[in-house]
Amino acid sequence: MARGRLISKSLGSSRKFYAALQAGGKIGEFCQVLFPLIVSNTDDFGRMPGDAFTVKNLVLPSSRRPECDFDKALDVLADVNLIDRYLVEGMIFLQVNQFDKHQPNLHKRNTSQFPEIPETPGDSRNSRIYRTNLRELN
């Protein structure tokens, strides 16, 4: 895993990033704060564990926000297509969308320790399908 990630200055003017603010309601700004922290903590393929507990403790352990706020924020980020959340063998993962496009020097990356998004007939990137599966898990 790289020691750092690039966050483009165009993130602030991104339509999807703005959509996270709007869709998040009371936690909209928190969604916007969380996204770059997620990007900086992913592996070389833009993947990491995607359950709220792990995300909280990896990317923002000093936060006083409850775990349910992290879960809501992750749902919002998936709804606006900044990330995908998915289940593999009962474990929740996330992947940053368009990760390769925004991160240079990925030619040196190793194999990911996290699984790829499983193919789902009809729409392999539909986060609502995965969210349904996530709710069934809880």
- In 3D space, the residue among 81, 82, 78, 96 whose CA is nearest the CA of residue 134 turns out to be 78
pLDDT at residue 53, as a whole number: 97
pLDDT at residue 8, as a whole number: 65
Per-residue pLDDT of the chain (138 residues; tens, 9 = 90+): 455 565 666 566 679 888 999 999 999 999 999 999 998 898 888 899 999 999 999 999 999 999 999 999 999 999 999 999 999 999 999 999 887 676 666 556 677 788 888 876 554 444 444 554 555 555
Distances from the Cα of 135 to the Cα of 9, 22, 26, 74, 121, angstroms: 35, 23, 22, 13, 20
> 34 Cβ partners below 8 Å, 6+ apart?
55, 59, 60, 70, 73, 74, 77
- The DSSP string of 38-84 is HHHHS-TTSEEE-SHHHHHHHH-TT--S-HHHHHHHHHHHHHTTSEE
DSSP state of 2: -
pLDDT at residue 9, as a whole number: 62
Name the pTM for this structure. 0.80
Q: What sign for the dihedral angle of Cα 18, 24, 25, 29? A: negative
Alpha-carbon Rg for the chain, nearest whole angstrom, is: 14
pLDDT at residue 33, as a whole number: 93
